[in-house]
Amino acid sequence: MADYDGGEVVVTDKTGTFRYRYQSGCRPTGIATDTQAQLIVSYKYTYMRDVKIHIIDKNGLFLHFLNTFQPLNVEVGLDVDSEDNLYLAEYSGTVKKIRYMKQQNE
């Protein structure tokens, strides 16, 4: 769950048991999960002119971020397909497809 007012992401297991909280100091605006159980969370930075996307592993550890260089006050919705393509839905109605992760060889 993305708690906008609380400025954190709260993660539970499928039974609803608390697993962890992830706090970045900013307000989460969107959340999605990829095929490797990583969380992709968009954040609106009130002091910057862009939206950042954090990639968090399944245990709540920050891995890296994507900088989308979006204008201030743009809310972003997120979705990830079965091939780990990330879709960003902007408030304006524009949807962007981003390949954010390389396929890993098994």
Residue spans of the domains in the chain: they are 2-99
Residue entry with tokens 């009130």 = 46
Task: Using pLDDT thresholds of 50, 70 and 90, give the confidence band for residue 106.
Answer: very low
Exposure string (b/e) for 33-55, b if CB count within 10 Å is 16 or more? ebeeebbbbbbbeeeeeebbbbb
How confident is the model over 28-74, as pLDDT tens digits? 888 999 999 899 998 876 666 567 889 999 999 999 888 666 554 56
Q: In what order do the strands lie in the sheet with 8-12?
A: 2-3, 8-12, 18-23
Question: Mean pLDDT, to the nearest integer, of 15-24?
Answer: 91
Phi and psi, residue 74, nearest 5°: -95, 120
Name the CATH superfamily for 2-99. Answer: TolB, C-terminal domain (2.120.10.30)
